[in-house]
Amino acid sequence: MIMAGGSGTRLWPMSREALPKQLIPFINGKSLLQIAAERLDGLVPPARRLICAAKKHEAAIAKSLPDFADDRFLGEPCGRDTVNAIGFSAAVLAKRDPDAVMAVFTADHIIEPVDQFQRIVTSGYDLAEKFPNALVTFGIAPNGPATSYGYLRLGAALAGDARIVEQFKEKPDAATAKTCFDAGPSRYLWNSGMFIWRAATYLDCLRRYLPESHAGLMRIADAWDTPRRDAVLAEVYPALKKISVDFAVMEPASRDPQVRVAAAPMPLKWLDVGSWPFYAETCARDADGNAVAAGRALLCGTKRSLVASSDPKHLVTTIGCEDLIVIHTPDATLVCRADSAEAIKELHKLVGEKFGGEYL
């Protein structure tokens, strides 16, 4: 299952309500969702792949990825964060196959090389088959003390390269993140946001950690292959508690003797395209370190800047700029320092408060 329900507010003004970041064709003409789907070619048969995303984006997804139409698309009537997107998918799968083993992939990552990714994911499937009570996650070697990722504290070996996770710490403070980073990748890995487990094992964790969500998702699953599907989904889903899988399941699971969280290292190029500075890493750079993505640009005396435009006829020019982000769309333009990129999420909120939904 590919989760594709994010809003992408830190990639505003190109990422919008109607076309969020995972659907924008801004990676060499492809969207992040298309790239995520292609990454599964040869790993998971097309008939056994699902996308869970906002119901309102169903038509756009079906247009770019027609293989995911109809019963292979799980449409959320509203966003209730990752614990419920995954629970929704797990409940539907377990209803159809009580022994289902499911993998959860993301729609906002660049992962290379693909053949090594597939080999590591295959080992994750093997772990989930061998250890039915395991929650398998994939760990990335940190390249800095980031506070925006979860950290996996590694314990004893489980099988192959996989290790037991002694503690799952989601989005730590700066001091804790530095301690984890300084300990090195043999002790701590970033959580990649990708998982493999038996659907029934995940649902049992939900039953014990988040019983109200579990009850609601079971109601949805019971109605899924009946004429009551849409009515039950519309009634139940918006009432589910909005919380991430990391806080709601992975943190308590790492302390739960009834399950074991396992980390399979993924020593690959892994890029979370969640903000403009990370997007810039997908672009070629000129001799001055500038990244120019889509559109026309003329950069004079400019260094280490990103320029992107969704209007192929619009010319963006700069003189004497350094470390800037310039994003142009037909109705909104963003200019900010690269080191202020994290504030775009707050800016997005302010735009909504001042102008309503016109520019969102």
Q: Give the tokens for residue 52.
A: 């869970």
pTM equals 0.92
- The single residue listed with the structure tokens 């909120």 is 349
- Looking at residue 7, its pLDDT comes to 84
- Looking at residue 93, its pLDDT comes to 96
- Looking at residue 69, its pLDDT comes to 78
DSSP 13: T
- Looking at residue 67, its pLDDT comes to 85
- Looking at residue 169, its pLDDT comes to 87
CA angle 89, 95, 99 (to 5 degrees): 90
- Looking at residue 53, its pLDDT comes to 96
Task: Please count the other Cβ atoms lying within 10 Å of the Cβ belonging to residue 59.
Answer: 9
Query: pLDDT digit of tens for each residue in the chain (360 aa)?
Result: 999 988 889 999 999 999 999 999 999 889 999 999 999 999 999 999 999 999 999 999 999 999 887 789 999 999 999 999 999 999 999 999 999 999 999 999 999 999 999 999 999 999 999 999 999 999 999 999 988 889 999 999 999 999 999 998 888 999 999 999 999 999 999 999 999 999 999 999 999 999 999 999 999 999 999 999 999 999 999 999 999 999 999 999 999 999 999 999 999 999 999 999 999 999 999 999 999 987 789 999 999 999 999 998 999 999 999 999 999 999 999 999 999 999 999 999 999 999 999 999
How many DSSP H helices and E strands does the chain contain? 12, 17
- Looking at residue 58, its pLDDT comes to 94
- d(CA 79, CA 173) in angstroms, rounded, equals 26
Domain residue ranges of the chain, discontinuous segments joined by +: 2-272, 283-355
Cβ-based neighbours of 23, under 8 Å, separated by 6 or more: 4, 31, 33, 57, 60, 61, 64
DSSP-derived secondary structure for 105-153: EESSEEEE-HHHHHHHHHHHHHHHHH-TTEEEEEEE--SS--SSS-EEE
Residues 266 and 109: beta-carbon distance below 8 Å:
no
Cβ-based neighbours of 187, under 8 Å, separated by 6 or more: 153, 154, 180
- Looking at residue 318, its pLDDT comes to 96
Residues 141 and 187: beta-carbon distance below 8 Å:
no
Report the first-to-last Cα separation within the chain, whole angstroms: 27
Closest CA relative to residue 138, chosen from 172, 171, 162, 111: 162
- Looking at residue 293, its pLDDT comes to 87
DSSP-derived secondary structure for 34-99: HHHHHTTTTTS-GGG--EEEEGGGHHHHHHH-GGG-GGGEEEESS--HHHHHHHHHHHHHHHH-TT
* Phi, psi dihedrals of residue 217, rounded to the nearest 5°: -65, -35
- Looking at residue 164, its pLDDT comes to 96
Residues 309 and 327: beta-carbon distance below 8 Å:
yes
Q: Looking at the domain 2-272, which fold is it?
A: Spore Coat Polysaccharide Biosynthesis Protein SpsA; Chain A (3.90.550)
- d(CA 209, CA 225) in angstroms, rounded, equals 27
- d(CA 132, CA 127) in angstroms, rounded, equals 8
Cβ-based neighbours of 209, under 8 Å, separated by 6 or more: 248, 249, 252, 253
